[in-house]
Structures are given as structure tokens and as C-alpha cells.
Amino acid sequence: MIYEEVEVGSRARRTLTATTRVLLALKLDGPLLVGLALLAVYGLVILYSASGQNMDKVLDGAMRVALGGIAMCTLAQVKPSFLRSISPWLFVIGCILLVVVDVVGYIGKGAQRWLDLGIVRFQPSEIMKLAVPMTCAWWLQDRAIPIDTRSLIVLTFAILIPAGLTIAQPDLGTGGLILIGGLMVLVMAGLSARIMAALALLGVVAAYFGWSFLHDYQRQRVLTLLDPESDPLGAGYHIIQSQIAIGSGGIFGKGWLNGSQGQLDFLPERSTDFIYAVIGEEFGMVGIVLMLLLYLFVVARALYLAIEMQDTFGRLLGGSIALTFFVYVFINAGMVSGLLPVVGVPLPLISYGGTSMVTLLAGFGILMSLYSHRKLIGS
Amino acid sequence: MSAVRIKDRWGEQRLFEQRSLIAAFVIFALTSVLVGRLVVLQVVRHDYYTELSAGNRVRLEPLPAPRGLILDRHGKVLADNQPAFQLELVREQVPDVDATLKRLVEIGLLPADDLDDVKKLIRSRRKFDGVPIRLRMTDEEIARFAVHRFEFPGVDIATRLARSYPHREIAVHALGYVAAISESDLKRIDTGAYAGTTLIGKLGVEAAYEKELHGTNGSREILVNAAGRSVERAGAFVPDLRRVAPVAGADIITSIDLATQRIAEEALFERRGSIVAIDPATGDVIALVSRPGFDPNAFGRGLTRAEFAALNENIDRPLLNRALKGAYPPGSTIKPMVALAGLAYGVTTPEHSRACGGYFTLPGSRHRFRDWKPRGHGRVDMLTAIAQSCDVYFYDLSAQIGVDRLAEFLAHFGLGALTGIDISGEKRGLLPTPAWKRQAFSRPADQVWFPGETVIFGIGQGYLLATPLQMAHAAAIIASRGKSYQPRLVTALRDPVTNETRKLEPKLIEQVEIAQPDAWDVAIGGMVKVMNGGTASRSQAGAKYQIAGKTGTAQVFSVAQNAKYDESKIDERLRDHAWFIAFAPADAPKIAVAIMVENGRSGSGTAAPIARRVIDTYLLGAPTTELPPPKPIAGAPAPPPTATE
């Protein structure tokens, strides 16, 4: 009996050690991996309902998760020094591609976000979501922290140029996210509170003048947020229907596959940008809070990993990836529940489609690489 | 700038940790905002959004009630609802609507003229609704479509209940028809009660009894998606869907006798005119004919612009209900009533006789009022005067009665007033008096009533106008010896489910009283004599029952003094109208008729034989005589080409 117990206990300890050893060998972070996997599975479960029980779409979503997972695992193997050294080149190539996309779009007289390379179509702006914070962190690696004025000016341009090119496509959502990704690096690099206040003021002024440069549909989205009932069948329709979906879900929801707003097509874009409302309708407040807790766990773990980093590049990039991830969640949840204007920002890891799944997981792959290789770069 | 500053690693670490802590607080605060918003939406305003969500997905769909049938007096169907095959197009399923319609025109399933209207119709409907683009398809057309079906995605054959008039033109002016609800209809109906109804009664019984025929529409709740399309789904979000069954409209039993109506219609085939037959004991209309007619089925399926223009602009005016709206001078048919007036006012006696020399002159005047028989009828009493239709006798009698008394008396026979028949559109005709003339004309010279106008009043000429319905009504009053029943087409309403029949009571308007005891015998006797040795004796020949009748030939065209009326020299449309009023059997009348043939030339030659066939059919079940061929007109010029086409 005693022998048996010892046998079981020792085997269990050995198994645990084996898992840790595998994760260490793969340069992956266990808790972060579990958090991300739970979110992806939650996303696939809700996608089955949101897509009208379309198994093809769920399989396609799973394919994207797998693709992102591969990208994450691959990037986790790459040495941080290599990542750091390619950052400026990635940035330059990305900017050139953005210009190409803008020119093609201008000639084609329409919105253009894709670059068609024959076999693969990809969005250069998606690369810039990672390339901009990487470049900012690269610049600050050997420079003074807290950030000095010269670095601030250089990095302001490094952020505004790609963000501006993306907004010109026009893609306000992604442009904004690029801006935020870069800004988060600056914040973590000790941007002074006075400059942040000045930036906020500048933002208000820019918004005032930028208003005239916005496209009609972009302006409409902002106006609609202020008063959705003014145009219930037009631009206000999205917001009204998503609020009805969330509100009618109540605390426990209507049940999986039973949300009438989603199942009967009242909710637009319900498997992509508005999937948050499907969760709210079918799983209620309980379902959303559960999801938010998962997100918070991922953000907290990512932030913890960033704190544990030992070089400036790793810390700043890691902090930016963690905080930007939360900003994605907040913008999407805020827009679907009627707190923010409708901008095309998907709910990370849960919304269907696009290339954002790959970019997001690639970002976490970089984070894991930075963390798992830290002792090699350390003192 | 060139010198690499020694980095303060510990300071940097502290700064980063401090910033991370602040970020964590901000993240916590923003997440609280999101949760707070959830509380507002999902707890505070949960009931409000639940209601909106339910309202989103349930729609009320009307269930139209089946329209009541219209039956003849023996229960034969005059109007019913038939499944009709129609071609329906669902816009969102058609790749190219214009090309599809063009192709349908090519294979002959859609008239090219309708193309614009059909396109307008398609655009006016929701893209997922079936739009009927061709109604009432024949079997051959259905087969032709079936062969080409693969060419037409989104176009299919659908079955709907459509109003059908199996006897087509027969009795159309009595029954009316149904057609699409127009904007003016919408103003007078309860639009809520008509949700789901597409057709509404126009004219005739269909319009007059619209409320009874229509029934009460029901409704059902259906589950719809965001596009408003009905969906069949099971799930917790499907609420209990309510259904209110429609109540079918009542069946209408009319007094029309289909066999009599049909014979009457056929008798006026290719003529213009009208026939009204009434049961003198009740006022029930046995037949009501106005020719030419039209096919009411065409209105239910929607007339094309060209078809409606053809009907509306036709010189023969098929849309005009001559029985109710056609006001004509009644001619000699009013003579029995003038005779009755003479007796009622004690102006003359049945035995009183006078000589007829072919014309009449008023004292102190040289104007000759001519008799239709140039050499005169010799000495005539009242019976002979009616039988021979002696104009001179009635010129004289009318002058003795006086215009006011004559008009007052004729009013009891319904002249100059609406008969009150239970369908709308009736005209009053005109019963002229000196008072009427004073206010009807503006020039003082025209306002004077001339004694000569009283003279011709006695033979139904001058200003006097009557509709065929009024004359049939008057004939029925004579037949029933003064009983004036309000004419009616509908005698009973039947519940289609329980078959419970509610009879409507006939309405006696008045009993015309005449002090002279044998007045009715004399008038009816005169009308019997018309059929026996009188003007219409040929139409009595061989009949097993006795007809009492009176011919009339009304001038359309005034012949100048001293000129001779020469038929062959005047336009076909200016020839005399032929009239005949009659009832039978004379001693116990069951049917009274008025026949009016526009430009029929002769009451005795044209109208009376028609009356015989109509009465035969009603009393014996089938006509026993043939209609005589139209009398050729000596030396008639070829009719102008526009006359009939």
C-alpha cells in the first residue's frame, strides 16, 4: 500500500516535471498558453452559434487558431537579439508596402487594405501593429530611460507615419491600434505625466481639426454613437441591435444557440466585430464576465512576464504587447456595448476572420521568446 | 549624444514596475466600466431590451377571409373563388430581372405592353416577396413555362384564390366585379380590417354587399428574421405564436334567374340596349341586362392600360350600365299609365271614344301633332287606343289631364325618382313639369312651358326620360294593380359554414289607389289587346299564357314639321329606340319586363319578340320562339365605318 502510494506520487511529480521540461524546451509560458487556449476555445464555441451553426466556419476559425499557434511557437524559438536587429528593417519594409497599398488604392479609387501577392493576400498594416512597438523598443534599448526629448520626437514620427498611412487607406481602426501599440512603449518608457496630458490635449485639438478630414462614414459612426436613435435603420442600427442583444440576454443569457437577435440575423457582423453581443445574449453577464476574467488573466500574466524581463527592449515590447491586447478588448467591448464609436476592431482571439488572430498570437510568441531567453541575455 | 550613457538599470526597473502598477489600476478601472455597462444593459434595462427583442422577431400576418359566393335564385353560382395559377417572381432570387422579363415576353408569357407596369410592381414590393407578374395562366401557358423553367430561377407558378365569374359577361352589370383596392377605396374602408385583402367590390352586388361578402380577416403571428422574412425555427426564443382564424364572407343569394338572364343577354347580342325583368309580387329582379357588357374576370386579374382604354373609349360604352343609368324617352310605353291617370282624375271614361284623323291640333293653334299612322285610326275608345297605340287619343287625353296632374300621377309609378334598387349608380331620369322647366333653363324664353309640350308628354316624348329599370318597375306596378315594391337583387344572405339563411323581406313602397273601380282592368285589358290584334300581336302567337304588353318607339331625332321620317336617310345611331314593357300571365303576373333596344327602330318588331323569349324562359323554362331577323331598311346607305367599331 505504502509502496503503491509512493509510486503514484513520484510518477505524478515526474509527469509534472516532464510538462515543464517540454514547455521550457519549446520556450513557451504555460499559464499564458492556457489562458490563450481557453479564450480561443471559448471563441470557437460561440462562433458555432454566431455563424448559424456553420461547422465550416468553425473549422476555418480553428485553422486560424492553429496557424496563429504555429506562428507563436515559431517566434518563441527566435532569439530576442535577432528580433531586435530585424525591427528597423521590418518597419522600413512595412512603410514601403503601406505606401504601395495607398497608391494602388488611390489609383483604384476605393478603400484598399490588402496587398494581393497572387497566392497570399495580406495586410501590411497588420505587420505594423508589431513592427511599430518593436522599432520603438529597439530605438530605446540603449538610450536613456525615462525617455528624453530627442527620442520622443524621433519615435513620434516613427509612430505617426505608419499610423497615418493606415488611416489614409482608409482604416481608422487599425491605424488607431498602431498608434496605441507605439504609444504604450512610450508610456512604459517613462513618458512624463505632463507630456501625456499635453498629448491628450493635442488629441482633442487634432480630433477637432481631423473631423474635416474624416470620411463621411467615419463621421457618421461617431455621430451615431452620440445618438443611435436618430437613425435606427441606418448607421444606428448596429448599435441599437447589439444593445438589444446584450440587454435581452440578462444575467444568465438565453442559452447557447438560442439568442434570437443573433440567430435571426438582427445582429449585424455577429461572427466578426459584434461577436461580443452574441456572448452577451446567449451566455448573459456571467458569460461576458467569465470572458473578461480570462482576458484579465492573460493581460496580467503578460505584464508579469514583461516585468520579469531584464533588458529594455524586452520590457518595453512586452509591456506594449500586454497593454495593447487589453486596449483591443476594451475598444471592441466598448463599441459593441455602446460606449465607443463603431470602429473596425475585432474582439481578440474570439472574432472570426481577418489576419488579426495570427498577428496577436505572433505578438505573444515574441513575448514568450523574450521571457524564455532572458537568462541568456542577462548579466 | 555620441557618448553612450551608463544605463541606470535599477532605476529603469523601478520605473517599469511603477508604470505597470498604474497600468494595472487603469485596466481594472476600464474593466469596471465595461462591467458597469453590462449592469446597465443586462440588469437595469433588461426588461426593456427583452421587449424590443421580442418585438423584433414576431410579425402579425393577415389571413384573408374567403369572399362570399354570389348565387342566383336557384343556387347556381354567379361568382366564386377559384384557385388560379399565376406566375410569381422573387426579386432577390432572379439574377437579372430585366433580362428575365424580356425572355418571358419572347416566349409569349408576358405582354410586351405590360413590361413597364410589371417592373414598377416588382420594384414596389420587398425583394423576397413573390410578385405576381402574370395572372390566370391557361393550361397551355403553364405547360410552356414548365418547358422553359430552367431558364428562370426565381420565377415560379403559384396558386392563389381569385374571384371568378364562370358566366363571364352574363349579368356583369348586376353583379359588378372586384378589382384592386384603389386610393379612393382606401379612404372609405377600415384599412386595418382590409389588411391582407387585395381585391374589393366595384359596382353592382359586389360593391353594395361588400361588407357582407368580405367577411372578417384573421391573422397569425409569425417568426421573422431581420430581413422580415418568415422563418420556421425551433428554439427557446420562439414564443407562443397566436392565430386568429378568418371568418368567411356571407354567400349572397340574388333574385336573378340565370336561365332568363342568359336568354335576355343573348337576345341583345351585338346590340345596344337593356332588359330588366321584375317579379311584381316582391320587386325581385329576375334579370338585369345591359349590353354590350364586359368580362369582369379581366378586372380581377388587373387590366392592362390598353385593355382599359379599349373598354372605356369604346363607342358602344360597355362599361355603362344602361339598365340603371341609361335615361331614354319612354315613348308609347307610358300610354297605359296616361290612361290610368285619365281615369284616376275622372277626365275620361273607358267607354269614351273619339275620332282619330291622323293628327291633333290644340284649340287656337294650327300646329299638327301627327299620329304614327298618317291616315289615322278612325274612332277609338281607350282599349283600342292602347292596343293600336293611337297617338291622337293620348295627345288629347294628356291635354285634358294637364301636365302637373300627369306628372304627379306618373310619380307614383316611380318615374323621375330613384327606384331604390339595392345596388348603386341609379339615375333618376326626368319627369318634367313647368316648375322644373323654370329652374332648369337660364334663358327666360326657354323657361316657359308650352301647351304643346303637355300634348307630346302623353305619348312619352319631349323632356320625359326613364331608365329601363324604372320602366320595368312601372310595368310591375301595373301588373300588381298598384303595389309598388322596391326592386332588389339580393333576397337572402347565407352563412357559408352553417348554411343558415337569413331572408330579406321585400319592401312595399306604396299601394297606388285609383278611385275608378275598373281602372286597372281597363289598362291591363288594353295591354292584353296589344297582344291580341294590337301592335305586338305577333309576339303572343302560340303562347300558352296571356301577355299584357305595350310597345314604344321613341324618337331620337326630331323630324321637321311636314317632313316625313325616312329611316334610310338617317344615321344608324339616330334611328328610333325600340321599347316594350310587358307582364305575364296577365291575370296572375309572375314577371314584368322592360326591353329597350337602342336604335332598334320598332318596339313591336324588335323589342316585343325579345320579351316573349324572356317571359317564355322564366315561365316555361325555355324560349318557344325564335327572334325575327332584323328588318332590312329599304334603300339604306352603307353605315359609316365608325358606326359600330
Helix (H, G, I), strand (E, B) or coil at B494: strand
Q: Which three cell numbers stand for residue B225?
A: 428574421
A344-348, B148-152, B489-493: range with highest mean pLDDT = B489-493
Q: How far is A307 from chain B (nearest CA, A)?
A: 6
Lowest mean pLDDT, pick from B41-55, B83-97, B183-197: B183-197
Task: Tell me which chain A residue has its CA closest to the CA of residue B43.
Answer: A250
Which residues of A are less than 8 Å from B229 in CB distance? Answer: none
CA–CA distance, B424 with B208 (Å, rounded to integer): 7
DSSP B421: -
pLDDT tens digits along A104-131: 776 655 555 666 654 455 678 888 999 9
Q: Does A264 contact B41 at a Cβ distance shorter than 8 Å?
A: no
| 8 Å CB contact of B56 and A144 | no
Percentage of chain B beyond pLDDT 90 is: 50
Residue of A244, A263, A323 with shortest CB distance to B237: A263
Range of lowest pLDDT (A91-105, B326-340, B490-504): A91-105
Residue B45, helix vs strand vs coil: coil
A333:B56 CB<8 A: no
Q: Does B34 touch chain A (CB under 8 A)?
A: yes
Chain A residue closest in CA terms to B10 = A310
pLDDT at A13 over 60: no
Say if the Cβ atoms of A280 and B42 lie within 8 Å. Answer: yes
At what angle are helices B391-401 and B335-344 packed, to 10 degrees?
A: 40
- What's residue B641's pLDDT? 35
pLDDT beyond 90 at B523: yes
Return d(Cα B11, Cα B13) in angstroms, integer.
Answer: 5
Shortest CA distance from B235: residue in chain A:
A258
Buried b (16+ CB within 10 A) or exposed e, A272-299: bbbbbbbbbbbbbbebbbebbebbbbbb
Q: What is the pLDDT of residue A228?
A: 59
Instruction: Tell if the CB–CB gap between B50 and A248 is shorter than 8 Å.
Output: yes
- What integer pLDDT is reported at residue A258 of this predicted model? 85
Residue B264 CA: distances (Å) to CA of B73, B121, B329, B623: 16, 40, 22, 10
DSSP H helices in B209-287? 210-214, 258-267
Stretch A250-272: mean pLDDT: 87
Using a 10 angstrom Cβ sphere, with 0-12 exposed, 13-18 middle and 19 or more buried, the burial of residue B108 is: exposed
pLDDT of residue A239 exceeding 90, the answer is: no
Cell numbers given for B101: 422579363
d(C-alpha A228, C-alpha A214), whole Å? 19
> φ, ψ for residue B285 (rounded to 5)?
-85, 115
pLDDT category, B638, cuts 50, 70, 90?
Answer: very low
B91-112: average pLDDT: 86
**Residue B39 pLDDT more than 60?**
yes
pLDDT of residue B466: 95
Task: Average the pLDDT over B60-71 and give the result.
Answer: 86
- Asked whether the beta carbons of B482 and B414 are under 8 A apart, the reply is no
Other residues' Cβ atoms within 10 Å of the Cβ of residue B92: 11
pLDDT at A66: 94
pLDDT given at position A130: 92
Distance CA B496, CA B376 (A): 62
Q: What does the pLDDT look like over B421-449, one tens digit per residue? A: 999 999 999 999 999 999 988 888 888 99
Among B295, B269, B308, B271, which Cα is nearest to B644's? B271
Min distance A108 CA to chain B CA atoms (Å): 27
**Burial call B592-619: b when 16+ CB within 10 Å, e when fewer:** bbbbbbbbbbbbbbbbbbbbbbbbbbbb
Instruction: State chain A's mean pLDDT as an integer.
Output: 84
Whole-angstrom distance, CA of residue B411 vs CA of residue B330: 14
| Joined grid coordinates for residue B348 | 275620361
Of B48, B3, B248, B405, which is closest to residue A248 (Cα–Cα)? B48
Look up residue B402 and give its three cell numbers. Answer: 294637364
- pLDDT band at A276; cut points 50, 70, 90: very high
pLDDT at A107: 64
Query: How confident is the model at residue A235, as a pLDDT?
Result: 56
Query: Cα(B161)–Cα(B145) distance, rounded to whole angstroms?
Result: 20
Look at B157-171, B192-206, B498-512, B547-561 and tell me which has the smallest mean pLDDT. Answer: B547-561
Q: How far is A167 from chain B (nearest CA, A)?
A: 25
At B7 the pLDDT is 65
Chain A: residue whose CA lies nearest to B3: A143
Q: Higher-confidence residue: B218 or B643?
A: B218
Q: What is the pLDDT of residue B642?
A: 32
More confident residue, B190 or B533: B533
- Element holding B399 (H helix, E strand): helix B391-401
Residue B428 has a pLDDT of 93
Please answer whether residues A277 and A245 qualify as being in contact, where contact means their C-beta atoms are separated by less than 8 angstroms.
Answer: yes
Least confident range of A145-154, B13-22, B127-136, B628-637: B628-637
> Nearest residue of A to residue B8 by CA position?
A145
B54 compared with A224, residue with greater pLDDT: B54
Residue A241: its chain B contacts at CB < 8 A? 226
Answer yes or no: do B57 and A248 touch at CB < 8 A. Answer: no
- pLDDT band of residue B124 (cuts 50, 70, 90) is confident
Instruction: Determine the residue type at B21.
Output: L
pLDDT at A60 over 70: yes
Q: Which residue of A has its CA nearest to B54?
A: A260
Among A187, A254, A265, beta carbon nearest to B237: A254
Check the CA dihedral A233-A236-A237-A240 and report its sign: negative
Query: Could you tell me the pLDDT band of residue B224, with boundaries at 50, 70 and 90?
Result: confident
Handedness of CA A32, A37, A42, A44 (dihedral sign): positive
Q: Which of A243, A250, A296 sits opposite B31 (nearest CB)?
A: A296
Going from the N-terminus, what domains does chain B have, and what CATH number goes with each?
Answer: 61-135+157-254 (3.90.1310.10), 331-414+431-464 (3.40.710.10)
Q: Tens digits of per-residue pLDDT, A27-39?
A: 889 999 999 999 9
CB distance B42–A333 less than 8 Å? no
**Is B602 a catalytic site residue?**
no
What pLDDT is recorded for position A14? 59
How far apart CA A210 and CA A218 sit, in angstroms, is 11
Q: Which of B255, B332, B389, B480 is the catalytic position?
A: B332
Which DSSP state fits A78?
S
In DSSP notation, B11-36 reads: HHHHHHHHHHHHHHHHHHHHHHHHHH
d(CA A117, CA A133): 26
> Does B276 have pLDDT greater than 90?
yes
A248 CB neighbours in chain B (<8 A) are 46, 49-50, 52-53
Q: Which of A343-357, B283-297, B457-471 has the lowest mean pLDDT?
A: A343-357
Q: Which residues contact B465 (CB under 8 A, 6 or more apart)?
A: B327, B328, B329, B330, B429, B430
Q: Which residue has the higher pLDDT, B538 or B556?
A: B538
Query: With contact defined as beta carbons under 8 Å apart, do B370 and B358 qualify?
Result: yes
State the pLDDT at residue A250. Answer: 92
> According to the model, what pLDDT value does residue B504 have?
93
What phi and psi, each to the nearest 5 degrees, are found at residue B321?
-85, 95
Residue carrying C-alpha cell 322644373: B436
Shortest Cα distance from B300 to chain A (angstroms)? 36
- By the 10 Å C-beta count (0-12 exposed, 13-18 middle, 19+ buried), A207 is classed as exposed
Q: How far is B223 from chain A (nearest CA, A)?
A: 9
Which residue in the block uniquely carries the three cell numbers 323569349? Answer: B613
The Cα–Cα gap between B199 and B249 comes to 13
- Alpha-carbon distance B613 to B595, whole Å? 11
Confidence class of residue A3 from pLDDT cuts 50, 70 and 90?
A: very low
In degrees and rounded to multiples of 5, residue B501 shows phi and psi of: -110, 130
Between residues B13 and B25, which one has the greater pLDDT? B25
Contact: B15, A190; criterion CB under 8 Å: yes
pLDDT at B570: 65
Outline where chain A has alpha helix (H).
Answer: 2-25, 30-50, 55-77, 80-107, 124-140, 149-167, 172-188, 193-210, 216-226, 237-249, 260-263, 275-308, 312-336, 356-372, 374-377
- Backbone torsions φ then ψ of B218, nearest 5 degrees: -100, -170
Confidence of residue A378 (pLDDT cuts 50, 70, 90): very low
Check CB contact under 8 Å for B7 and A145.
yes
Which pLDDT belongs to residue B639?
A: 39
pLDDT reading at B560 higher than 70: no
Q: Stretch B291-315: mean pLDDT, rounded?
A: 82
pLDDT band at A377 (very low <50, low <70, confident <90, very high): very low
Q: What is the pLDDT of residue B636?
A: 44
Q: How confident is the model at residue B564 (pLDDT cuts 50, 70, 90)?
A: low
CA distance B514 to B529: 22
Interface of B with A in 256-315 (CB under 8 A): none
Q: Do B39 and A251 touch (CB under 8 A)?
A: no
Confidence of residue B568 (pLDDT cuts 50, 70, 90): low
Per-residue pLDDT band at B199 (split at 50, 70, 90): confident
**What's the predicted TM-score (pTM) here?**
0.66
* Span B58-84, average pLDDT: 87
Residue B189 vs residue B168, higher pLDDT: B168
Q: Which residues of A touch B35 (CB under 8 A)?
A: 289, 292
Checking if the pLDDT of B634 tops 60, the result is no
**pLDDT > 70 fraction of chain B, expressed in percent and rounded:** 91
pLDDT tens, A211-231? 777 777 777 766 766 665 555
